[in-house]
Structure 1
Amino acid sequence: MKHGFIRVAAATPDVKVADPQFNRTEICALIRAGIERKAKLMVFPELSLTAYTCGDLFGQDALLSGARRELKEILKETEGSDLLAFIGMPWERGGKLYNSAVAVQNGRILGVVPKTNLPNYAEFYERRYFEPGNEVPVMVSWEGQRFPMGTNILFACEEMPGFIVAAEICEDAWVPCPPSIRHTAAGATVIVNCSASDETTGKDIYRRSLITGHSASLVCGYVYANAGDGESTQDLVFGGQNLITENGTCLAESKRFANDTIFADLDLERLNNERRRLSTYPVRDDSAYFTVGFHITEEEYDLERPIDPMPFVPTDEGQRNRRCEEILSIQAMGLKKRLSHTGCIHAVLGISGGLDSTLALLVTVRAFDMLKIPRNQIHAVTMPCFGTTDRTYQNACLMTKKLGAELTEIDIKEAVTIHFRDIGHDSGNHDVTYENAQARERTQILMDLANRLNGMVVGTGDMSELALGWATYNGDHMSMYGVNASVPKTLVRHLVRYYADTCGEEELKTVLLDVLDTPVSPELLPPKEGEIAQKTEDLVGPYELHDFFLYQILRYGYRPAKVYRLAKAAFGGEYDGETILKWLKVFYRRFFSQQFKRSCLPDGPKVGSVAVSPRGDLRMPSDASSRLWLEELEGLS
């Protein structure tokens, strides 16, 4: 529960139709298992205490009294536990029967939520047995307890203000205006659904899409428990497809046609931060709701949720390829518009044989093809200097040739040496002046060449470098349009690989793959025995870590200790805690101190949910202090 995580479960018990005693024993066994797994919320299917498919037996007093009797046993089972469980059962009030979810915890009933929308079409006949539920809660008494009954009930945790639960039942989620809409507008962060949705061909896909979509549009966690094996198969089959989703992401899903319990840790901080960020999310109004408080005990545990170490890169190959094609199109469309608006029919970019300039060239080629401008009006300029190696030089030249662009070579050693003389710098001193003079000389050449050609300088720097400030101010930091400005380094690799795999030219593919295999380097220091001497990730840290930090910090606003915890979970088999902490501190120090470079970025297209443009996603003071963030990391291990 630390850092806003809460463990939840969706359970499908084995049931026997119209046998509450058997069903209770199965439910209690799953409750015990949930308590052992440290779950704080567990959801059971619709009418699971009796089974959903009882038909006209719902009119029998024996069944109804048997269900109430077994509910008492369930209450006994929960005594001494802080697990909040929602049990599906028929509930009688005022001479009418209601299809209900009964919320129980620590031996008490906290509330009864009746189903609002009763299907009476196709295979469903619920209006034959049940009444639609009342929205406005009323107080009811049973076995010496008093509790609210109605759909507008919020179950609010006293220890975690962001943990607020509301319930709907099966069909409620399938109607045009589900109760969960008003529940979340009233403050609910977690929706539970006790369901009995039968199986027909393709229905599982629609069901998953529906529940995942609800969690996305409502910015909530959604715990969906479905009836399964054991229900009557007289006319229907129930597959027990349980789902736990969070803000559009499916965290856990059970196998169909096998009764199972799934667990996942919802991130309530993520949900609350997202609602706070979205200016269109409604202001909380719980005036029409009855709030029931409940208590939980904080416990430590390893996280039980998928944590993607590469949040910018889809793990599924098909989805990754679609994403790559989409991003390349966004980048190219952005450049296309800028070229056509300015009337430029020439583009100039520095080509180093590294990843970023390679991607920029590939995007520029695509934009020129869209505009039907000959590729030879793309001027790829290679500018060898003190740190250039034969490998990157040859790759730059061959790649440019294979893509049909115009290659220009301008050796800048003499110009930089004269510059050192002019400013009184010892060329044997390989300090920041030595490095940045080369970067600025290259940018000057590109800008002046673009002026001469009436063209545009296309920027090559990526978002990871901008986040760390790993760019020379007014050097590679500057361009006339930065096509890679919102593409992180981990994604740059996949974009280049995707192009290599789909270009259809074997020689071009070979050189692109070699670029991918080349260590990331600005090549500003002299090579050692012909090999790159300056490897970026040795100096500022692994880009896969920095991209992970960047995503968690900017996308979700997580505090440093939580970013560290997530990183340890994501990279546990690859980096130890000490290494992760070291580079996280570096990230925060550089991210804050280098904001001035991001405050004056050239234009460039946003391609994902995270960007650092001062005109778009990141309006951050250039002189903000990092003290709070770094202090939180002290003492962590």
Structure 2
Amino acid sequence: MFDGFLKVACATPQISVADCAHNCDEILSLMEQAAKENVKLLVLPELCITGYTCGDLFFQKTLLSGAECALMELIDASESLDLVCVVGLPAAVEGKIYNCAAVISRGRLLGLVPKTHLPNYNEFYELRQFTPAPSGTSIVSFAGSDVPFGTKLLFSCMELPEFTFAAEICEDLWAPLPPSVFHTAAGASVIVNLSASDELVGKAEYRRQLVSGQSARLVCGYLYADAGEGESTTDLTFAAHNLIAENGILLAENRYQTGTLTITELDVDRIAAERRKMTTYPAVSSDDYLTVSFSLQNELTTLTRPIDTLPFIPQGANADETFEEILTIQMQGLKKRITHAHAQTAVVGISGGLDSALALLVAVRAMDALDRPRSDVHAITMPCFGTTTRTKSNASALCEALGVPVQTIDIKHAVDVHFADIGHDPDIHDVTFENSQARERTQILMDYANRQNGLVIGTGDLSELALGWATYNGDHMSMYGVNASVPKTLVRHLAAYEARRLSGTAGSILLDILDTPVSPELLPPSDETIAQKTEDLVGPYELHDFFLYYIIRFGFSPKKIYRLCTYAFGDTYDKRTILKWLKTFYRRFFVQQFKRSCLPDGPKVGSVALSPRGDWRMPSDASAALWQNELELIEETL
């Protein structure tokens, strides 16, 4: 459970209706299997000790006693198992029968949670046998001990307090105001649902949406265990549709399989981080809740859940729709700024690289949306000491293919004059040599825009801003930064999408730009070979974007990010390489904050951004010592 990772499972036993002894054996087998898999939380279906479809047999004392005896056997067997198990059964309490979730762990019955909302429509007639949950919490005698009974129960792990869960049962989730709303407001990070949802055409997809949506709305982990094979098929069938979701993401799913575990890991640290950030998420108020503590062995959880190496990149069949949406957001921001400023032109410094190509594409889209000619986009290419024929040619050719006028302003002479003015030896290829070129280009763009009553469109991306890979008051500055919240990995995918969409000459040029090494081209090339490759200097952008996402989005520690990264990229980078670039990221991120404190305006497109006016406020002289010390401790273990 280190780093907040918790292995959890849902399972559906293959039951025999009303045969509590048989069902107990099946449940125990699943519990033992789960313990061997290091599962810490196992959720089983509604009324699975007896079967959901017992009908009026629930009135039979023999069945109720059989269920209670079976639960006692499970409690005894759980003493040697390092897990918490939630199992469904009917419970005769204080003269009524309740549909309950029993929470057991380490030889203890921790509590009984009765169902609140009893369906009594269509194929359901639960009010015939069961009583809805009472409003309060009481102590009742059941299965050989005095236990808490009620819906307002929280179950909290002493070794990992962020792992606090509560239960609701089947229809409770489908009700207008599910109990889980109150459970999470009281502090539950995980909700378990014991269900017996019958199968109908189209219901599976609705169930997925319901579980995923509830986990997103409540910012929680949600485990949904469904009844399956073995239930009576007199009128209904059950599909054992088990689902595990975390904050809107479906992590694991199983259907039509009984006797197997649906396993994944929840990240309760991630849930806690998300709640801390959301000012609209209620502060914990659990005055009327009873918290029951339990203990589990704290150990390293083996990860199996999917960790995307490219967290900023949309996946799946609808990815192109998302790319189009991102480009539209960028375009809408620029369109508004052009209109508000009464700008006659959008001025783009085009280098033949990815970032400026994307900015050019967005500018073209903005003019199209304004019903203005593309000739109102003015592209300027400014070759200097490091410019190669390939990038210069691609810059001009892309403009021509898009119908954008382009002019070339060679800045070598101007930079040489500047070197002479400040007394710099042009044969010394230091930071002055590089930054002078970037600042000269920005001066030209700004002054040209003034002459044309235009706006300088910034080309720098989010990854560069995070690393400070920009010349202060050079390419760092613009009048509107359309790529300011687009990370480098996403820039590549947006350019590839546009290449597919445009096809033809423009598409071919974009593909060649994609194939060109990322470089500021500030150092002289050797035989037309780019001498300065950004990723050789600051590290792979796919790693830096991974670091950036988890640092900003969830505030994870260096130790946890390192663990996630070695898990996600284990087949690509060794541990020392990952640690090297993670140290680089933290060092640059802290030292370069002053550049982010004065960024130009630009549209936010995703959940991670570094605008000093919105998403990221950080003092420029903050110390990185705590983060660096944690990384040093990791290095000592290698």
Which of the five TM-score ranges fits, normalised by the shorter chain?
A: over 0.9
Q: Would you say 1:572 and 2:555 are equivalent positions?
A: no
SS where residue 611 of structure 2 aligns? coil
1:229 CA displacement: 1.2
The total of aligned residue pairs comes to 635
- Secondary structure of residue in 2 paired with 1:236: coil
Secondary structure at 1:442's aligned position in 2?
helix
For residues 135-164 of structure 1, what are the alpha-carbon distances to aligned partners after superposition, in whole Å with 9 as ceiling and x for unaligned?
A: 311101135411101101011111111111
8 Å contact kept, 1:228–1:259: no
Partner of 1:187: 187
Matches for 1:511-590 after TM superposition, within 5 Å:
511-590=509-588
Aligned to 1:75: 75
Say whether the 8 Å CA contact 2:26–2:259 is kept in structure 1: no
Q: Distance in 1 between matches of 2:258 and 2:389?
A: 60
Aligned to 1:594: 592
**Cα distance in 2, alignment partners of residues 259 and 127 from structure 1:** 30
Relative to 1, partners in 2 of residues 1:321 and 1:143: Cα closer, same or farther, differing over 3 Å? Answer: closer
Match of 1:168 in 2: 168
Instruction: Name the structure 1 match of 2:616.
Output: 618
Q: Separation in 1 of the partners of 2:36 and 2:398?
A: 59
2:471 paired residue number? 472
Task: Please tell me the residue identity of whatever aligns with 2:413.
Answer: E
> Which residue number corresponds to residue 232 of structure 1?
232
**Residue aligned with 1:634, SS:** helix
Corresponding position of 2:196: 196
Indicate yes or no: 2:409 matched with 1:410. Answer: yes
User: Equivalent pairs: percent with the same residue?
Assistant: 60
Partners of 2:143 and 2:276 in 1: how far apart? 42
* 8 Å Cα contact 1:229-1:259 kept in structure 2: no
After TM superposition, the structure 1 = structure 2 runs for residues 291-370 of structure 1, keeping only pairs within 5 Å, are 291-316=291-316, 318-370=317-369
Shift of residue 345, structure 1, vs aligned partner:
2.1
The alignment's C-alpha RMSD in Å is 0.9
Match of 2:399 in 1: 400
Please name the residue that 2:36 is paired with: 36
Distance 2:108 2:368 in 1: 69
Deviation of the 1:260 alpha carbon: 3.2
- 1:80-119 per-residue CA deviation (whole Å, 9 max, x = no partner) reads 2231111100000122100000001111100000000000
- What corresponds to 1:22 in structure 2? 22
Deviation of 1:263 after TM superposition, in Å, equals: 1.1
- Could you say which residue in structure 1 is the equivalent of 2:114? 114
* 2:501 pairs with 1:502: yes
1:326-358 Cα offsets, whole Å, 9 max, x none, are 000000000000000010120111000100000
Which secondary structure state, in structure 1, belongs to the residue aligned with residue 536 of structure 2? helix
| Residues 9-30 of structure 1 deviation map (CA, whole Å, 9 limit, x = unaligned) | 1111111111111111110000
Summarize deviations over 1:244-271 as a string: whole Å, max 9, x none.
1111111111134555311111111111
Cα pair 2:67 2:89 within 8 Å, conserved: yes
Cα shift readout 1:199-251 (whole Å, capped 9, x = no counterpart): 11111111111111111111111111001111111111111111111111111
Query: Which amino acid is the alignment partner of residue 319 of structure 1?
Result: N
Q: SS in structure 1 opposite 2:489? A: helix
> After the TM superposition, which of the residue ranges 571-580 and 155-164 deviates more from structure 2?
155-164
The residue identity in structure 1 corresponding to 2:490 is L
1:379 partner SS: strand
Cα deviation, 1:509-561, whole Å, max 9, x if unaligned, reads: 11010000100000001111111110000000000000000000000000110
Distance 1:448 1:268 in 2: 52
Aligned partners of 1:234, 1:257: CA distance in 2, in Å?
20
User: 1:259–1:82: structure 2 CA closer, same or farther, 3 Å change rule?
Assistant: closer
Q: TM-score scaled to structure 1, two decimals?
A: 0.99
Structure 2 SS opposite 1:487: coil
Q: Contact 2:71–2:143 at 8 Å: present in 1 too? A: no
Structure 2 counterpart of 1:522, which letter? P
Structure 1 position 134, deviation (Å): 1.6
- CA–CA separation in structure 2 for the residues paired with 1:302 and 1:359: 40
| Contact map agreement 1:489 1:547 (CA 8 A) in 2 | yes
**Is the 8 Å Cα contact of residues 12 and 257 (structure 2) preserved in structure 1?**
no
Q: What is the distance in 2 between the residues matched to 1:454 and 1:142?
A: 81
Structure 2 counterpart of 1:278: 278
Q: Deviations over 1:360-383 (max 9, x none)?
A: 000000000011111112111000
C-alpha contact 2:379 2:406 (8 A) present in aligned 1 = yes
- Whole-angstrom CA distance in 2 between matches of 1:438 and 1:324: 33
1:152 aligns with 2:152: yes
